[in-house]
Amino acid sequence: MRRCGRTTPRARLRAAALVVAALLSGTAGAIPAAATERAQAPTEAGCAWQFMSNNTVLNVAFPDANATYWVLPYALGAGERIELTGQYPHARYMSLNTYGTNFDTVDTLRDNQIAPDPGSANPFAAASATPGAPGYWHATVVPGAADHAANQIRGLPAAGQSTPLGFLIIRVYVPDDPNSAPGGVPLPQVTLVRGNGAVRATVPTCAGPFDPAAAPNGPVKQALTTGFDSVIAGAAAGAFPGNVPEATFVNPASTSGLFPNGDNKYLGAGLTYQPGRIVVVRGHAPTFPDTRAGAPPTEPAAQVRYWSMCQNDQVSPYPVVACAADFQTRLDAAGDYTYVVAAPADLPARATADPTVTVLPWGSTTVAKKVLFLRHMLPSAQFYPQSVQASQDQHSDPATSMGAYYPEATYCSTATFESGGYRACFDSGGR
C-alpha cells in the first residue's frame, strides 16, 4: 500500500510523461509537482518510450528520413537515476541524448563510447566484433555530473532550468534491416532507481508510440500543437543568419531548441518555389561505411560515418519532405553528386533519365518556403578540415574551407536543364 503523499519511481516516470503537453506549451514551470502526478495520461500509463519520431510519425524539427528517434520523458530528483539495459543495434549509428525543457542538448553518449557488458563486444568500437552477434550494454541517466567512462549520461542541465524534467532520445540511423527501425533489437529496458538503489521499478516498454497527430482533438493535442508552434518554430526562425541569398548553403546561426545531435553538423540553403524552376546542387561526396552492403561502421577508410541531403518544409512543425542518404545518392565517375529538387510538373525528363542525378521532391508547392540541409556526421581526423564541423568550429566560410565538398546550388529553369543538363544551369547562372 502506498503512503499518502509519496510516489513510486514508476509514478514519477508517468508524471514526467503526463507533463509533456504542459512542457511543450511553456507552462510546466508553473505546475506544482503534485498536480502533474495527478494528471490524466495522454499515453499508455507507466510505459517507456512513449514517443517515436521519424518521417511519418511526429515528423517535426527537421528529422532525417533515414533515422528514427524514440523519446522518454522523465523526472529526476536528487539521488535518483534511470538505468538502461540494451543491445547494440545492427545499424550505421546509435546514440543516447538528453535534453532540457528548452529542447537543448544536456549530454550525449554515442555508440562507440558505450562500453559493452563483460563477454560482449561493441561493433561500433571494435572492428573485430562478430557481425550480427548480440552485444549487450548498460547505461545510467543521472541528474548531475556524468562519467562517460562508466556509461553515465547527464539528465538535467547544470543551471538555467526550474523543473527537474528532461527528455532522453535514442537515435538509430540506417538500420541494416530497413524494416526494423531499432536495428533488429528491442528498445532498452528502463529501470527507475530511488534511495541509492533501495527502491527499483522496471518500466515496461510501450506497446506502440503515442502519435499526437492521431490523437482526438482535445487539451493534449492542442497543447502539443501549441508547444511545437511556440518552441520549435521560435528556434527554427532563428536558425539561419539574415541577408543570405537563396540557394546558397551557409552555416546555421543556431540549432538550439531543435533537439540537436552533437554528432551532426549542418549546412542549410533556403529555397522558394516558382513554377517552371528547379534547384540543382553539385558537390563531391565524402566516403562512408556502407553498412547496408556489409561494411562495418568502423570502416577505417570512411571520411564520415554518415552524410545526407534533406529537403524540408520551412514552416511549423518543420517536417522533412525527403532525404537522400549517402548510400542512396548517385555519383558520377569522379565521385561527384548532382541533386535536382523539383515538383513533379517541373521535373526535367533528362534528370530522371540520368543515372548520375538524384531527384529530391519539392513536396507541396503550397508550402513556398523550403530549406535544404547537408548533414555531416563524425568526420575522420583526416577529413575534418574539409567537413562542415571544421567550418563551424573555426567560423570559416564553408564555400572556402570545404573545397570540392561544398555543395554549390543554383536555381535553374526546367527548359535549361532539359537542353543542357546541370552544366547549362551553372554556366547560364541558372536562369
Say if CB 351 and CB 343 are below 8 A apart. no
Tell whether 54 and 203 lie within a shared domain.
yes
Total domains present in the chain: 2
Residue 229 lies in a domain: no
Return the pLDDT at 232. Answer: 56
Domain end residue (candidates: 168, 189, 222): 222
**pLDDT, position 1:** 37
Residue in the structure block whose three cell numbers are 563551424: 392
Angle at 104 between CA 307 and CA 233, to 5 degrees: 85
User: Which domain range does residue 31 map to?
Assistant: 9-222
Is 1 inside any structural domain? Answer: no
Cβ-proximal residues to 31 (8 Å cutoff; 6+ apart), any chain: 19, 22
| pLDDT, position 126 | 74
Residue 67 and residue 175 share a domain: yes
Distance CA 292, CA 36 (A): 44
pLDDT average per 10 residues of sequence, the chain (431 residues): 44 46 38 35 58 62 82 86 95 94 89 94 80 84 95 91 87 94 93 79 78 54 54 57 79 65 91 94 97 93 96 78 95 97 96 96 88 94 97 92 97 96 83 45
Residue 130 lies inside a defined structural domain of this protein: yes
Residues 60 and 124 in one domain: yes
Q: What is the pLDDT of residue 226?
A: 57
List Cβ neighbours of 389 (8 Å cut-off, separation of 6 or more).
265, 376, 379
259 & 131 share domain: no
Q: Report DSSP letters for 356-387, one per residue.
A: TEEEEE---TTS-EEEEEEEEES--TTTGGGS
Radius of gyration of the chain (CA): 23
pLDDT at res. 228 = 52
In a domain, 107, yes or no: yes
Domain for residue 31, yes or no? Answer: yes
Query: Is the domain of 203 the same as that of 133?
Result: yes
- Residue at 290 is within a domain: yes
250/217 same-domain check: no
Residue 344 lies in a domain: yes
Same domain, yes or no: 29 and 60: yes
Q: Strands 336-342, 357-361: parallel, antiparallel or unpaired by DSSP?
A: parallel
